[in-house]
Amino acid sequence: MAKPQRLYHILSSAQFTREFLEDFFRSVDSFVTQLGQRPSKPTKDMLAAMYRNYLMFNFFYEPSTRTRFSFATAGNRLGMRVEGTDNAKLFSSAAKGESLAHTIATLSAMAPDLIVIRHHENGELEEVAHRSAVPIINAGDGSNEHPTQTLVDLYTIYRVMGRLDNIRIAIGGDLKYGRTVRSLVQVLSLFDDIRLLFVSPKALSIDDETRAHLHIAGIPFVEEYKITANLRIADIVYWTRTQAERATEEELGSFDPDDFKISLETMAMFKQSMALLHPLPINNEIAPEVDNDERALYFTQAGYGVPVRMALIDYLLHGYDVQTPEFSPIPGVAKIWQR
Ligand code: NCD
């Protein structure tokens, strides 16, 4: 029997298959159970023995709260040491003009076990990941992708719905620059009987590549340019903020934010059994009072960031101590698959 393909660097949601996700979520389930609300001392000791003396580099060129802390927490819970920097644009040699390729080659030469990077340039990480002998995880690259957030989002949907097929999902906000949506949509198309409703300002709608991908995958979708009563039947409403740091003045001025704001009145229109998710941070696209609605599950979602990333670290490191597939310290085309 052919050996199943194993992921090495985690750079894009396009790498995830349905089989991988189903297996992976079983592993996340087990970490969720072990962690509980707060793990007991014996559980902490047991978990911390798993990767004691392993080392994670956490390198963030763009701001982050959830992703950086949940990677660090996941690593710490598994006994790893975590080194790194935020604001790497300023606090790493990038400030002295070093390229990402050279930074990665340097970090890799120090032989950590794992490198987590958030970078501001779309797709650059994928180009240079082969410069690393150890797994690289994309923690968000510009407006391109955020594959580990997708694992968190999809795991939350699976916990809430108890299934991943046959779901109506409304996705709203800035769908042009939001990397979490671009990554999430790619995996949703792996499942059966998914219907999508996109709600965004016209200037910030999904791109043609995403539309083409959905057409090819046979996923029906509708695009709307403000909140309407069509949201009534959504099982999941996944909302996002406007990426003001990426959008142009013209795009930002082209719409009324109130048309995209989820208020208590909007919540009253939603199904009783639905869940409201958001990758966070929230600006003004969800009214603060909505936090109290039991269907607003974005903090639960953020909490899953730790067990999801523990499972990912375990997946990447378990039994793969001494291997450097496709490692090539010279420039070339990145290959994101191992074996
Ligand atoms: C998102 C991100 O960084 O892309 N946040 C996250 O990682 N949870 C969403 C955002 O910045 O809007």
Report how far residue 91's alpha carbon sits from residue 86's, in angstroms, rounded to the nearest whole number.
Answer: 8
Q: Catalytic residues, which ones? A: 66-67, 96, 118, 146
Candidate from 116, 145, 149, 308 with most ligand 1 atoms within 8 A of CB, to mutate: 149
- The pTM (predicted TM-score) of the whole model is 0.92
Contact 187, 158 (CB under 8 A): no
Report how far residue 50's alpha carbon sits from residue 28's, in angstroms, rounded to the nearest whole number.
Answer: 15
Q: Are strands 194-199 and 81-85 parallel, antiparallel or unpaired?
A: unpaired
Q: From first to last of the 339 residues of the chain, give the pLDDT tens digit.
A: 444 578 999 999 999 999 999 999 999 999 999 999 899 999 999 999 999 999 999 999 998 989 999 999 999 999 999 999 888 887 778 888 889 999 999 999 999 999 999 999 999 999 999 999 999 999 999 999 999 999 999 999 999 999 999 999 999 999 999 999 999 999 999 999 999 999 999 999 999 999 999 999 999 999 999 999 999 999 999 999 999 999 999 999 999 999 999 999 999 999 999 999 999 999 999 999 999 999 999 999 999 999 999 999 999 998 654 444 454 444 444 444 343
Q: Judge if the beta carbon of residue 66 lies within 6 A of ligand 1.
A: yes
CA of 180 relative to ligand 1 center, distance in Å? 7
